[in-house]
Amino acid sequence: MDANFKYRFGSVEYDLAFRTHIMGILNVTPDSFSDGGNFFEVEHAVGQGMKLAEDGADFIDVGGESTRPGSESVSTAEEIRRVIPVIEALTKKIQIPISIDTYKSAVAEAALLAGAVIVNDISAMTFDEEMVSVTAKYKASAVLMHIKGAPKTMQHNPIYENVTKEVGEFLQKRLAAARDGGIAQIILDPGIGFGKKFDHNIQLLQDLKSFHILGCPILVGLSRKSFLGAILNLPPNERMEGTAAAVTASILNGAHIIRVHDAKEMKRVAMVSDALKFRSMSTAQ
């Protein structure tokens, strides 16, 4: 079995090693790569958040800025305007933990005051030097993700000598910085699709277990991503089966949390994957 990863998120406690947990994606943006504009209005976003919870999500990850390859940044004020009404409404309607997907400390602080309990930062808190202290101040948990470059340019020929080693070293440094800054509960994300070519993504998924040495739960976000499109030659809204296959592989290779658009379907995939994973592990013991 994995290490003891009993984490408390507000009033909810999860044992992240006991089963795979589901983080539902809620993009409050007009331009996200897969569902941009679908939930841009507050009412629609809140409804989708409630649906994700009903469909079995363990977390809702609310984001107000698209970080797809080539995306433009939005102002702090605009990002706050998008996400805070949604977080405030959801915290009154559902009990599961809310995560804020941002790399800006001012957005994170506003979200934590509104009821979020997790900061999910694509830069592992390197884009904004205040992010560690703000997260620690509110005793929030952190998701630290690897990225090479910035969203606008990250897919312009990223190069690694050894992608798994370099991602691991980066995450180790950021983990130490976060802990030194007072963040107690940390989740690590290798950053599939963030400054990686096709082969880099495949290698990282094959090597997920190597990140267990860092002693934190591993989150993987691969829902509908472009490497699946490259395999299937299909647009984002037709990558459900590809996502399911990649989710299964990531769970069997050591993921603890999967970040997905389709919570109901991927929860079922995770249940079967967990049965295979834990049966094989108990048999090996």
pLDDT in tens, 42-59: 888 999 999 999 999 999
Helix axis angle, 198-206 to 163-180, nearest 10°: 70
DSSP 156: S
**Catalytic (active-site) positions:** 225, 259
Q: Where are the domains of the chain?
A: 6-284
Q: Which amino acid is it at 108? A: A
What CATH number should be reported for the domain whose range is 6-284? 3.20.20.20
pLDDT tops 80 at residue 284:
no
What number is the average pLDDT over the span 1-15? Answer: 86
pLDDT tops 90 at residue 24:
yes
Residue scoring higher pLDDT (67 or 280): 67
What's the rounded Cα separation, in Å, for the pair 30 and 138? 29
What number is the average pLDDT over the span 202-215? Answer: 97
Q: What is the pLDDT of residue 31?
A: 55
What number is the average pLDDT over the span 77-102? Answer: 96
What distance lies between CA 103 and its chain's CA centroid?
13
Q: What is the pLDDT of residue 34?
A: 52
Lookup: tokens for 22: 């589901």
What's the rounded Cα separation, in Å, for the pair 217 and 153? 29
Q: What is the pLDDT of residue 18?
A: 94
Percentage of the chain surpassing pLDDT 70? 93
> Do the Cβ atoms of 242 and 201 come closer than 8 Å?
no
Percentage of the chain surpassing pLDDT 90? 82
Q: What separation, in Å, do the N-terminal and C-terminal C-alpha atoms of the chain show?
A: 9
pLDDT in tens, 151-200: 877 788 889 999 999 999 999 999 999 999 999 999 999 999 999 999 99
pLDDT in tens, 70-82: 767 899 999 999 9
Q: Which of 62-66, 165-169, 243-247, 276-280 has the lowest mean pLDDT?
A: 276-280
DSSP 259: E
Confidence of residue 69 (pLDDT cuts 50, 70, 90): confident
For residue 233, give Cα distances in angstroms to 69, 70, 189.
18, 20, 26
> Do the Cβ atoms of 124 and 147 come closer than 8 Å?
yes
Q: What is the pLDDT of residue 163?
A: 97
- Nearest Cα residue to 36 out of 16, 64, 74, 13: 64
pLDDT tops 70 at residue 35:
no
pLDDT tops 50 at residue 1:
no
pLDDT in tens, 251-261: 999 999 999 99
Neighbouring C-beta atoms of residue 149, cutoff 10 Å: 13
Alpha helices in 4-101 (DSSP H): 42-54, 76-93
